C-alpha cells in the first residue's frame, strides 16, 4: 500500500545538490489501471502496477531486466517523464522525495512524502518551504502528466 501526500514547491531555502539523488525516466503502458515502467540511473529497471486512489492506493513494484524495459518502452503511451529525485530528510524519520522535472515539464517541482498509515499522513505538518498541497488533484499525478501538459 502506498500512502503519500504531494505538494508543489517553488523556491527552495537550501541547495538541493547537497542531498542524494537519482535520475529517473518513466513511461506509462496504461494509465487506467496504472502500469508504469521506470529506469533508475540508467542501471536498474522496474515495472509498477498501481490501484485507484490519490493519497492511498495499492502499489506493486517488480524489478525487470534491461531487455524487458527496452521491450516495454515501445509500448509506452504519451511522453516519457524525466526527473531528478532528491531525498531530503524531514522530522519524525520521514523523507521528502523532491522531484525536479526535466524537459517540457520543467520547471515543475513536486515534494512527495510517504507514510506508514493514513493517520500519520493526516497528522503531517509540511515544512514551510512546501507549497500548495496537490495530493487530491489528479492533474499532478505522474500518469496524468505523461499525457497532458504541465499544470504548473
Catalytically active residues, by annotation: 28
Residues 6+ apart with CB under 8 A from 125: none
CA–CA distance, 32 with 118 (Å, rounded to integer): 23
CA–CA distance, 3 with 115 (Å, rounded to integer): 5
Q: How many beta carbons lie within 10 A of that of residue 139, not counting itself? A: 12
Amino acid at each position: 500500500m502506498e500512502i503519500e501526500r504531494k505538494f508543489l514547491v517553488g523556491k527552495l531555502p537550501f541547495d538541493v545538490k547537497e542531498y542524494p539523488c537519482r535520475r529517473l525516466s518513466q513511461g506509462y503502458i496504461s494509465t487506467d489501471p496504472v502500469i508504469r515502467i521506470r529506469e533508475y540511473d540508467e542501471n536498474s529497471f522496474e515495472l509498477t502496477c498501481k490501484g485507484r486512489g490519490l493519497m492511498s492506493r495499492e502499489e506493486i513494484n517488480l524489478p525487470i531486466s534491461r531487455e524487458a524495459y527496452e521491450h516495454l518502452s515501445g509500448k509506452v503511451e504519451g511522453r516519457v517523464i524525466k526527473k531528478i529525485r532528491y531525498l531530503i530528510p524531514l522530522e519524525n524519520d520521514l523523507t521528502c522525495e523532491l522531484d525536479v522535472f526535466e524537459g517540457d515539464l520543467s520547471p515543475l517541482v513536486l515534494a512527495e512524502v510517504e507514510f506508514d498509515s493514513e493517520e500519520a499522513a493526516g497528522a503531517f505538518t509540511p515544512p514551510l518551504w512546501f507549497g500548495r498541497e496537490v495530493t487530491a488533484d489528479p492533474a499532478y499525478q505522474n500518469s496524468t502528466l505523461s499525457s497532458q501538459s504541465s499544470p504548473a
